[in-house]
């Protein structure tokens, strides 16, 4: 669709933001998302300067009957923040963060990224569980649940969402909190992209020490790795919830700390940190360091924000991506072995096979407090296929399929939609318990009966 084929209907003349159309110099940059597999051409990109501009954009798209897509960080691997022939509402112009430690919260505007949020909050000695890559948006991440390094201690990001300002499908600005429209707050906690444009998030913050003992333990992914990976699992299951970790298979990167002869070979890495006083950390992480003895021990004191940025090098914008987020009831020996075997088949330098441990606060927070589902999962398997050229696509997709099969014995059937590439009704149902899906569909019928907000893992309005 070209500019001339847009409906005659005009944007409100008071709209103060930026408009970008096909042919404008900025157009290709403005439409691009993180996942290079997604190539969509919106008819109009709108960058608002504030809430009134957001309401104008919503009213315009609705009345013109154009598809409307909201974007924060653009990281959705499913491509739900890209738009074909409609209106792309790009919130990247809304960057304010206001930290209020005495209230115990921080307010982030709709376009803030995790690196920006962490920068502002850690300056005040506080943090919220957030994205493990600094360029991920606070928006899509929080609205889809949000599982960060701090989650075993402080819950999902959406569990920390205490309030929000939302422009709804009818163009109204609504404030939600535990006392104002609490049902809508419940829905925003895990299914939030379905209910309006969130322009402000109020998130609970928690004290974070100036330095954390954190980093990576790296061993070759060879015949000895099986014993080490099982030992990591056992040690993690005994560890306090302050120990946050992921077991990862990847190719050793060409980094300063990697001997040249090891670069490009399959390795087993434990990314680990202790969320608490450094004087407790040495003892808590000692069992993990003992398992990795003889390998590379990159655990050291570092600021939380540096730990948050540690994996940025594995997330190049524009590479092709395909991820999954599979909940597991446990991690059996046979699954550990299959995980390592498939990990040894990785070809792309950016592809990673990850297992996160759930539990702690994520499991403790009552299931009915948020739309986010499947809190009882013990682990999450997270294959990240990330490759440079279309010629590699079949191999990489095949790898994700084998990775998924490797976990068959331990899967619960539930998935984490923020990592899921599929958006079919069946895909979306797998993200929620049936009761929660029904409650969400009823709320959708109240707040967005025309399904204006459908560029997401979509909840269809009931009836």
Ligand X SMILES: Cc1cc2nc3c(=O)[nH]c(=O)nc-3n(C[C@H](O)[C@H](O)[C@H](O)COP(=O)(O)OP(=O)(O)OC[C@H]3O[C@@H](n4cnc5c(N)ncnc54)[C@H](O)[C@@H]3O)c2cc1C
Residue ranges that bind ligand X, judged by CB under 6 A: 34, 69-77, 80-81, 91, 110, 131-133, 136-137, 139-141, 143-144, 146-148, 193, 197-198, 315, 418-419, 455-456
Distance (Å, rounded) from C-alpha 336 to C-alpha 343?
Answer: 10
Place of tokens 């079949």: 394
> Cβ closer to ligand X: 105 or 200?
200
Least separation in angstroms between residue 259's CB and ligand X is 27
Least separation in angstroms between residue 161's CB and ligand X is 12
> Cβ closer to ligand X: 241 or 420?
420
Kindly state the tokens that stand for 308.
């948050």
Least separation in angstroms between residue 308's CB and ligand X is 9
> Cβ closer to ligand X: 33 or 225?
33
CB 98 within 8 A of CB 164: no
Distance (Å, rounded) from C-alpha 20 to C-alpha 64?
Answer: 17
> Cβ closer to ligand X: 34 or 407?
34
> Cβ closer to ligand X: 76 or 228?
76
Least separation in angstroms between residue 218's CB and ligand X is 20
Place of tokens 């709320």: 443
- Residues counted in the chain: 463
163: closest CA among 191, 184, 190? Answer: 184
Least separation in angstroms between residue 294's CB and ligand X is 29
**How wide is the angle at C-alpha 147 spanned by C-alphas 134 and 442, nearest 5°?**
120
Kindly state the tokens that stand for 142.
């929080």
Least separation in angstroms between residue 29's CB and ligand X is 15
> Cβ closer to ligand X: 112 or 225?
112
Kind and range of the H or E element at 371?
none
> Cβ closer to ligand X: 244 or 315?
315
Alpha-carbon dihedral sign for residues 409, 414, 417, 423: positive
> Cβ closer to ligand X: 242 or 448?
448
- 289 SS3 class: helix
Dihedrals φ, ψ of 199, to 5°?
Answer: -100, -25
How would you classify the pairing of strands 44-47 and 87-90? parallel
Least separation in angstroms between residue 147's CB and ligand X is 4
**How wide is the angle at C-alpha 435 spanned by C-alphas 434 and 437, nearest 5°?**
65
**How wide is the angle at C-alpha 190 spanned by C-alphas 187 and 196, nearest 5°?**
55
Least separation in angstroms between residue 428's CB and ligand X is 12
> Cβ closer to ligand X: 160 or 456?
456
Least separation in angstroms between residue 220's CB and ligand X is 26
> Cβ closer to ligand X: 166 or 228?
166
- 235 SS3 class: helix
Q: Compute how many other C-beta atoms are within 10 angstroms of the C-beta atom of residue 413.
A: 9
> Cβ closer to ligand X: 147 or 379?
147
- In Å, what is the CA distance from 70 to each residue of 31, 82, 437? 12, 8, 22
Place of tokens 């899509």: 140
Kindly state the tokens that stand for 337.
């072995």
Kindly state the tokens that stand for 372.
């986010």
Least separation in angstroms between residue 323's CB and ligand X is 7
Least separation in angstroms between residue 188's CB and ligand X is 9
Kindly state the tokens that stand for 252.
């050793």
DSSP string, 243-281: EEEEEEEEEPPS-TTS-TTTTTSEEEEEEEEE-S-HHHH
């Amino acid at each position: 669709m070209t500019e001339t084929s847009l409906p005659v209907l005009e944007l409100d003349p008071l709209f103060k933001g930026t408009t970008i159309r096909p042919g404008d110099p900025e157009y290709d940059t403005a439409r691009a998302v993180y996942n290079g597999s997604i190539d969509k051409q919106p008819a109009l990109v709108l960058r608002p300067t504030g809430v009134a501009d957001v309401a104008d954009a919503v009213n315009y798209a609705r009345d013109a009957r154009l598809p409307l897509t909201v974007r924060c960080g653009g990281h959705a691997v499913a491509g739900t923040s890209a738009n074909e022939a409609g209106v792309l509402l790009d919130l990247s112009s809304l960057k304010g963060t206001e930290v209020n430690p005495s209230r115990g919260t921080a307010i982030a505007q709709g376009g803030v990224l995790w690196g920006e949020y962490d920068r502002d909050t850690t300056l005040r000695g506080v943090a919220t569980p957030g994205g493990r890559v600094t360029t991920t948006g606070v928006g899509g991440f929080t609205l889809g649940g949000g599982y960060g390094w701090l989650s075993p201690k402080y819950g999902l990001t959406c569990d920390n969402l205490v309030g929000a300002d939302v422009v709804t499908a009818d163009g109204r600005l609504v404030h939600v909190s535990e006392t104002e429209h609490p049902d809508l707050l419940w829905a925003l906690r895990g299914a939030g992209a379905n209910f309006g444009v969130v322009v402000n998030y109020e998130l609970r913050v928690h004290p974070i020490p100036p330095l954390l003992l954190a980093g990576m333990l790296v061993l070759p992914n060879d015949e000895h790795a099986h014993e080490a990976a099982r030992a990591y699992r056992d040690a993690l299951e005994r560890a306090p919830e302050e120990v946050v970790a992921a077991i990862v298979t990847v190719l050793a990167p060409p980094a300063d700390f990697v001997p040249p002869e090891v670069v490009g070979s399959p390795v087993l890495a434990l990314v680990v940190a202790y969320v608490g006083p450094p004087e407790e950390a040495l003892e808590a992480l000692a069992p993990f360091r003992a398992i990795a003895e003889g390998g590379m021990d990159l655990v050291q004191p570092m600021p939380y924000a540096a730990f948050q940025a540690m994996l940025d090098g594995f997330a190049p914008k524009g590479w092709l991506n395909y991820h999954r987020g599979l909940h597991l009831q446990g991690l059996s020996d046979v699954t550990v072995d299959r995980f390592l075997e498939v990990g040894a088949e990785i070809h792309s330098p950016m592809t990673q096979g990850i297992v996160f441990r759930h539990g702690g606060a994520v499991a403790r927070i009552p299931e009915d407090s948020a739309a986010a589902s499947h809190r009882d999962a013990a682990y999450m398997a997270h294959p990240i296929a990330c490759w440079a050229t279309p010629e590699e696509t079949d191999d990489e997709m095949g790898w994700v399929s084998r990775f998924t099969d490797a976990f068959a014995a331990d899967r619960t059937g539930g998935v984490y939609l923020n990592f899921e590439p599929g958006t079919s009704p069946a895909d979306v149902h797998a993200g929620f318990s049936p009761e929660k899906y029904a409650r969400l569909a009823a709320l959708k019928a109240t707040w967005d009966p025309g399904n204006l907000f459908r560029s997401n893992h979509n909840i269809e309005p009931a009836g």
